[in-house]
Structure 1
Amino acid sequence: MHTKKREISADIFRAYDIRGIYNDDLYPETMLKIGLGLGTYAKERSETSVVVGNDIRTTSPLLANALISGLLSSGVDVTDVGTTSFGVSAFSGWLLKKDIIAYVTASHLPPEWNGVKFYSGAGIGFSAAENGKIRDIVLYEKEVMVSWPDAGNYHDVDLRDEYIEWLAERFEFEVDERRIVLDCGNGSMGLVALDVMKRVKLKTDALFPNPDPSFPNRPSEPTELGALKAAVLRNGADFGAAFDGDGDRVVIVDDLGRMLSADQCGTIIAKDLLVDHRGPVLANVECSMLIERVLEPLGAKIERIPVGHTFLTLEAKRRNAVLGIESSGHFVIPSFFLFDDAMIIPLKLAEILVKTGKKVSELVDELPQFPKARENLECDDKLKFEVIRILGDRLADEYGADRVNTMDGLRIDLNEDGWVLIRASNTSPLVRVTVEGATDAIMGKLMRKFVGIVEEAIRESKKA
C-alpha cells in the first residue's frame, strides 16, 4: 500500500513541548522526523546521548519507538526506559548523566492526544528558544541522517527500583504512621507510586491504580476529584493526592475533603523548607499573594516568574531557589530534584505532618484566605497580544511602571487590596483576567473594573 508523504504541521510545535492528535496532525513518521531533528540539534551542541521514556497512552510506545529510530538515525545514542512515570524517566537521565531526556506524553490532555517534552540531563525543561531550533530543523528539513557505521547505539534499562530506593533513603516513616489515599487516575503513576509508599512504610489506599489509556474514571487532568474526597473522608485518611496522566502534577485534598490550591500546598511546604534552607521561593504570576503574606515575614524572598513549568525548572536552578510553585500544580524542590516529579509532594507533606503533629486541615486553616476569580474574554488571535501591549502602556501610566509586572502579561500590584493579571492565552483566542482581592467585595469591584478596561481595549483594537 502506498503511503502519501504528509506535510508536518507547524501547529504541533508549542513553546515548551510538542503535542497533537494522533493520526490527525501527529503521525509516527512525524515523530521519526522529530527524533532526527532532536538528534541533529544535540550534535550541534556536542551532545551524544538521550534517555527516552513514555507514558501509558495507547500510542505512546509506538511514538517513542519512532522517536528513537530518528535519534539513532542521527547518530545519537539512546537509552530507552520504556513505559513509566515522568519521575522515573527524569531520574534515569539524571542518574545516568545523559545529555537529554525526552518523554513521550500528552500530560493532562484527552486520550487521543500525544506529544513529547524535552529536558536537559538534569531534568530542566527546554526553553522556547531551544524547542524553536528543533522545530526549524524539522520544518525546514535540515535534519542530518548518518550512514550505517555511525548510527547511534541503543540499549534499554529499568531504574524503577533504584528510583524507589533513592526516595526511601530520604523519606522513611514508622509503619502505618500516616494514612494517605493516592488517586493515580489510571495514569503512569500507577506503575510506581504505590510501591514508593509501601517502601517508605506509609499506609496507602489506592484509587484507579491500574493504567488505562482511556482514563475511564476521571480525566487525566486532576480536576474532578469527587471520588478522592469521598475516599479520604470514608477512610479517615490524613490526606489524599491526585496525579495527572504522566506524574508531573499533583493536587492535594486535606482530611476534611477540601482541595488545596497549589499556593496553599506550596506555602505549607515552603514554611518547612525555610527552616533549613536559604534562597528565594519562586511563584508564577498567577499564584496567590498569600505566598508573600506568609513567607516574607519568615525571611523568604518571593520572586515571580512567567506561567509554565519550564520556567519553574529553568529559574529554580538559575536562582538557587528553595522551592518553585506553579499554579497548575507543578512543584520543584531543588534539594531533591531540579525537575517537577509529583511523587515528592505527598512524601514531603507526610513528613511535615509527622514533624508538626498537626492535620493538613490545621495547616491550611493557619493560612490567610483571599478570594480569587478569573474571566475569559474572547479576542482574536491576531489582536490579543496587541491588546496587552496597549494596556501595558496605559496601566503603567495610571499605576506606575514599578507596580505593573510585564514578564508574562500584565500583573498590576494593588498593595493591600490585591492584584490583577491580564494575560493573553498562548493556545486560545482569549484574554484572561485574573483577580485576587483582600475581600470578596474588593475582588468583585476589581474584576468589574478591569474586565471593563480590557473589553474597551478589545473594541478599540478591532476598529484600528
Structure 2
Amino acid sequence: MQLSPSIFKAYDIRGIIDETLDPSIAKLIGQAFGSEMRELGETDIVIGRDGRLSGPSLTEALTEGLLSTGINVIDLGMVATPMVYFAANHTIRGKKPQSGIMITGSHNPPNYNGFKMVLGTSAIYGEQIQSLRKRIEVKQFATGQGSRTTFDIFPMYLAYIVGDVKLARPMKIVVDCGNGVGGAFAGQLFRALGCEVQELFCEVDGTFPNHHPDPAHLENLQDLIKNLQTSDNELGLAFDGDADRLGVVTKDGQVIFPDRQMMLFAKDVLSRHPGGQIIYDVKCTRNLATFVKQHGGEPLMWKTGHSLVKAKLKETGAPLAGEMSGHIFFKDRWFGFDDGLYTGARLLEILSKETDPNQTLNDLPNALCTPELQIACAEGEPFTILESIKAHAKFPTSEAINTIDGVRVEYADGFGLARPSNTTPVVVMRFEADNEAAITRIQEEFKLAVLAAKPDAKLPF
C-alpha cells in the first residue's frame, strides 16, 4: 500500500483499513517510531490495542517494525488507551518504558483504526507526527534486534485506583461501553470500588452492533437514559471506544456534559490545591471560569486537542484539565493523562458523599447552549476561513475576542466560537447565552462573519 499523508493527523495517526491503513503501513510506523526512540536513547515501549477487528494484525506488524529497530516491546494485549499511558508511567519487570503506542480507532466507525503515541513521557502531536511521515518517506530507519514480552497491566492499574479512590458509600450505577474495549474492565473496576453495577453493551465487539461508542452524541446515551428511568440505578456512565472519555447521565435523564463535570472536579481538586490553575478548552462553557474563580482557582482557557491539553498541563503543573469532548486530565492524585475509567471513579467518590447525587449534578451552573455545530468544507479550507474571519470580521456587540484556537467571541450575555477542526475538514461552531434572543443575536453576527469568508457555506443554524 502507498503511504497516504492523510493518515498523519494533528494528534494521532488514523486511517481506513485497506484504503489508507494496513499491516504494511503499521510496520513502517513501527520502524519510524522505533528510530525516533533510539535517537532519544529509549529502548523499551508498551503497546496495546482496542477491540477492533483489525487490531491483532496491526499489532503484529507494528511490533515487527519496532523490533527491527532494536526496541524491546512489552505487549499489553487488548486494553483501554489509559492503561497504555498508565504502563508508560510504571516499572514493569524491572524496566521503565516511557514510550507507548495504543492501536485504536477511538470513536470512529468500525473500519477505521489508528495509533495514539507517547514518546519519552510526552504525547506527540503536530510536527512530531509529521516527522514520522517524513522519516518513512526517506526510509531513515535504525536497525537492531529487540525482544518481545507480554504483560497483563490490569491488576496493577486496578490496585492503584482502588488504593486511591474511596467511596463514602456503595452506589448503584449502570455503565454503557457501546461494545468498546472499556467493557472488558469497567464492571470489575467499579465493583472493586464497592458499587453495584449493571452493564450495558460491555461485550467487546469491534462491529459496535448496538450504538456507536461516543458519549459526546446524545443518540448514543438513549439506552442509559431509558435504563435509569426503569431501574433503581442512581447514575449512568458511558465510555467511548477506547475508554479515555466519559459521559454522565443523571437519574432523571439529564446529560452532564464534561464542562459541567469539570466544575465538580475543580471544586474537589482546589480543596487540596488552593489557587491552582484549572485548564479547559475553548469549547467549554463560560460558567466554568466563573466557577473556578469562585472556588479559589485560576481558570486557563487553551486549545482543543487531547495532546495539546496534556502538553499544557505538563508545562504549567496545573492539577486538573479538561475538554468539552470528555477528555479529563487529573494531575492531582494521578498522572496527568486522560482516563475515562479513572474519571468515572473520581466522580463516584465525590457523589458518594452526597445525599442526593442527582440534585448535586443538576445544581451545577448551566446555560442555554448549542451542541457542537459543523460547517462542511474542502480539505484545508477551514484554516483559510478562520484566517479571513480573524482578519476582517466585526462582532459589533462583543466585549472580547480570543484567537488562541479559531475565534471565540465573548459577550456580556454569552459567547460564540468558530474553529477549524484538526481531524476533519469542518469548521466547528458552538454558542452559549443567557436566553434565546441572545443566542440568535450572537449567531447572526457569526453568520455574517462566516458568509463573508465563505459565501457558499451551508450554515447549521
Q: Does 1:169 align with 2:168?
A: no
CA 1:382–1:157: 2 relative to 1, 3 Å:
closer
CA distance in 1, matches of 2:448, 2:13: 35
Instruction: Compute the displacement of 1:324 (Å).
Output: 0.9
Counterpart CA distance in 2 for 1:281 and 1:119 is 23
1:267 aligns with 2:298: no
Partner of 2:385: 387
Residue aligning to 2:419? 423
How far apart are 1:50 and its partner, in Å? 0.9
Provide closer, same or farther for how the CA distance between residues 44 and 365 of structure 1 changes in structure 2, counting only shifts above 3 A.
same
Match of 1:3 in 2: none
What is aligned with 2:187?
194
Aligned residues: 448
Describe the shift of the 1:129–1:89 C-alpha distance in structure 2 as closer, same or farther (beyond 3 A): same
Report if the CA contact (8 A) 2:406-2:420 is conserved: yes
Question: Given the superposition, is the C-alpha separation of residues 153 and 217 from structure 1 closer, same or farther in structure 2, using an over 3 Å criterion?
Answer: same
Find the aligned partners of 1:78 and 1:374 in 2 and give their Cα distance. 39
Summarize the alignment of residues 26-425 of structure 1 with structure 2, pairs less than 5 Å apart. Answer: 26-96=21-91, 97-120=96-119, 122=121, 124-144=122-142, 146=143, 150-173=144-167, 177-222=170-215, 223=217, 224-278=220-274, 279-335=276-332, 336-395=334-393, 403-414=400-411, 416-425=412-421
Q: Secondary structure at the match of 2:455?
A: helix
Q: Is the 8 A contact 2:37 2:120 kept in 1?
A: no
- Cα deviation digits, residues 291-342 of structure 1 (max 9, x gap): 0122212221111111111112111121111211111111001121211111
Alpha-carbon offset, residue 368 of structure 1: 3.4
Distance 1:330 1:374, change over 3 A: closer
* Partner SS, residue 384 of structure 2: helix
Q: Once the 2 structures are TM-superposed, how far is the Cα of residue 457 of structure 1 from its aligned partner? A: 1.8
**CA distance in structure 1 between the aligned counterparts of 2:375 and 2:16, rounded to whole angstroms:** 26
Residue identity in the other structure for 1:275: S
Cα separation, 1, equivalents of 2:82 and 2:69: 27
Counterpart amino acid of 1:371?
C
The structure-2 alpha-carbon separation of the partners of 1:215 and 1:72, relative to structure 1 and needing over 3 Å to count, comes to same
- Structure 1 unmatched runs, 5+: 1-5
Query: Deviations 1:133-158 (Å, cap 9, x if unpaired)?
Result: 112111232223x2xxx301221111
Deviation at 1:194, TM superposition (A): 1.1
Q: Is this contact kept in 2: 1:313–1:332, CA < 8 A? A: yes
SS of aligned partner of 2:427: strand
| Distance in structure 1 (CA, Å) of the matches to 2:352 and 2:427 | 44
Q: TM-score, normalised by structure 2?
A: 0.92
The change in CA–CA distance for 1:408 and 1:231 in structure 2 (over 3 A counts) is: same
- 1:419–1:435 contact (8 Å) kept in structure 2: yes
1:412–1:421 contact (8 Å) kept in structure 2: yes
CA 1:327/1:159 → structure 2, altered by over 3 Å: closer, same or farther? same
Whole-angstrom distance in 2 between the partners of 1:358 and 1:322? 27
* 1:94 alignment partner, SS class: coil
Residues 371 and 439 of structure 1 are in contact (CA less than 8 Å); yes or no, is this contact kept in structure 2? no
Q: Distance in 2 between matches of 1:25 and 1:304?
A: 35
Per-residue CA distance 1:76-135 (angstroms, 9 max, x = gap): 11111111111222212211231211000000011111111101454x421212212112
Aligned residues with identical type, % of pairs: 29
Amino acid at match of 1:136: K
Any conservation in 1 of the 2:277–2:320 contact (CA below 8 Å)?
Answer: yes
Cα distance, 1:391 vs. partner? 1.7
- Give the direction of change, closer, same or farther, for the CA distance of 1:198–1:367 in structure 2 (3 Å limit): same
Taking a change above 3 Å as real, the CA distance of residues 129 and 453 of structure 1, as seen in their structure-2 partners, is same
Please give the secondary structure, in 2, of the residue aligned with 1:169: helix
How much is the aligned-residue C-alpha RMSD, in angstroms?
A: 2.1
Measured after TM superposition, the shift of residue 370 of structure 1 is: 3.2
Rounded Cα–Cα distance in structure 2 between residues aligned with 1:15 and 1:182: 31
Query: TM-score, normalised to structure 1's length?
Result: 0.91
- The separation in 2 between residues aligned to 1:395 and 1:163, in whole angstroms, is 50
Amino acid at match of 2:254: R
Change beyond 3 A, Cα 1:357–1:246: same
Residue 75 and residue 396 in structure 1: after superposition, are their counterparts in 2 closer, same or farther (change >3 A)?
A: farther
Q: Give the Å deviation of 1:455.
A: 0.7
Structure 1 303/454 Cα, relative in aligned 2: closer, same or farther at 3 Å? same
Displacement of 1:373 after TM fit?
A: 4.9
